[in-house]
Each structure stands twice: as C-alpha cells, then as structure tokens.
C-alpha cells in the first residue's frame, strides 16, 4: 500500500515517518508544487482539507497532520494560526513570548489532528491528540522543530527541544494522535 504524506514541513515529516515506521505502507512525499490552502476553522477541518485535496489530486491514499500550540492566557492563540504567526521558527517563538510577556499563567497545549483520505478524497480516519505543558520565558534546547524550545513538560523537567526524540515520540500530541489512529485505521490500510 502507498500512502502520500501531505506536508511541506520537514520537522513534522520526520516525526510522521518515525510514527509510521513499523507499518508496511510505502510512504511518499507530496510534491512541493501541490499546496493546499488551510481555510478551516479547526485543526481537524484543516487536516481533512489537506489529506482530501492531496489524495484527490494524486489519486492516492493520503495522510495529513494539522497541528499547533494553543496558549491558555492568549485564549488559545496562536492555535490553528501557529504556522502563520511569523516567517521563521525564531520569529514565531519571539512573537509568542512577547504576547505572553510576564503573564503568570504559562499553561498551554500542543494539539495535533491527523486525517487519512481515500484516493477519491473521502475521509477514512480522523483523530486528535493533545499534550499539555508550560511556556518558558526563554527558549531551551536545540532538538525538534517549531515551538519545541519554549514548550516545557513539568513531568520530565524538559522542553520538547531538550528531550531525546524517542521521548517526544512517546508523549507528544502527535504521539497520542498516532496511537489513536492505529486503532481506527481503515481495513484497506491495515
């Protein structure tokens, strides 16, 4: 079975490949030229949009991840706008730290929605995973990608960017979504 991974984000792609590594599907990467506009109002809507449009365009099974960081004191921002919050990861992190300022409530959650679409675009699976943590006052660590350096997990006393990748792969929003996904896979993909 072939499955097209509908992402243009290299950090995300690496993690998705790792989560799918013990599956028998041949993973293919979506062509760069095929870009899907994220017009949805939720992570799940955007994951479905990306999976569905890429599946239809290539007439192949496709999987998409829509994710982001939602900060409690910012009423869930940047949320589904996490990728559009700045030009680079550094800019996005700086903007978030500036918006949050010295706010005492540092609680936040990473959210990951994953959708799988059939070659005709019909959604065959849709799941969501959440990982709660705290926003630090300054970045720590150089692993991972995106907002990882400012997302601190108290239970391990580490940011996502300080963790060994295997640990992030066990506890992250993406890890939880993939665990659910493997329980509701369409039979054709098992």
Where in the sequence numbering do the catalytic residues fall? 66
Stretch that binds ligand ITT, among 1-9, 99-107, 117-125, 182-190 (CB under 6 A): 1-9
Rounded least distance, CB 173 to ligand ITT, Å? 7
Give the helix/strand (H/E) hosting 107: strand 107-117
The string of DSSP letters for 38-105 reads ---SSHHHHHHHHHHHHHHHHTS-EEEEEEEEEEGGGTT-BGGGGGGS-SSHHHHHHHHHHHHTT-S-
| 160, 163, 175, 177: residue in contact with ligand ITT (rule CB under 6 A) | 160
Rounded least distance, CB 111 to ligand ITT, Å? 8
Q: How far apart are CA 18 and CA 10, in angstroms?
A: 12
Among all residues, whose Cβ is closest to ligand ITT?
146
Residue among 19 and 187 whose Cβ is closer to ligand ITT: 19
Stretch that binds ligand ITT, among 100-108, 133-141, 142-150, 179-187 (CB under 6 A): 142-150
3-state SS assignment for residue 108:
strand
Asked if 39 and 49 count as a contact pair (C-beta separation under 8 A), the reply is yes
Interaction of residue 25 with ligand ITT, rule CB under 6 A: no
Stretch that binds ligand ITT, among 52-60, 65-73, 132-140, 177-185 (CB under 6 A): 65-73
**Neighbour-count burial for 23-62, b at 16+ CB within 10 Å, e otherwise:** eeeeeeebeeeeebebebeebbbbbbbbbbbbbbbbebbb
Interaction of residue 19 with ligand ITT, rule CB under 6 A: no
Interaction of residue 146 with ligand ITT, rule CB under 6 A: yes
| 54, 68, 152, 159: residue in contact with ligand ITT (rule CB under 6 A) | 68
Closest to 81 (Cα-Cα) out of 50, 109, 41, 108: 41
Interface residues with ligand ITT (CB under 6 A)?
A: 7-9, 12, 38, 65-68, 82-83, 110, 144-148, 160, 172, 174
């Amino acid at each position: 079975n072939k499955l097209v991974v509908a992402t243009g984000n290299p950090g995300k792609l690496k993690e998705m490949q790792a989560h799918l590594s013990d599956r028998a599907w041949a993973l293919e990467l979506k062509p760069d030229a095929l870009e899907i506009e994220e017009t949805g109002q939720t992570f799940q809507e955007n994951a479905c949009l990306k999976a569905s449009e890429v599946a239809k365009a290539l007439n192949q099974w496709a999987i998409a991840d829509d994710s982001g960081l939602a900060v409690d004191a910012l009423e869930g921002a940047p949320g589904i706008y996490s990728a559009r919050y700045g030009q680079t990861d550094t800019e996005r992190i700086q903007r978030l730290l500036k918006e949050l300022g010295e706010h005492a409530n540092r609680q936040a959650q990473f959210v990951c929605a994953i959708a799988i679409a059939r070659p005709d675009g019909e959604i065959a699976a849709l799941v969501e995973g959440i990982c709660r943590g705290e926003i630090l006052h300054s970045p720590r660590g150089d692993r991972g990608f995106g907002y990882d350096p400012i997302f601190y997990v108290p239970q391990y006393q580490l940011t996502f960017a300080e963790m060994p990748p295997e640990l992030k792969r066990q506890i992250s929003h993406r890890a939880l979504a993939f665990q659910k996904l493997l329980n509701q896979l369409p039979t054709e993909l098992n």
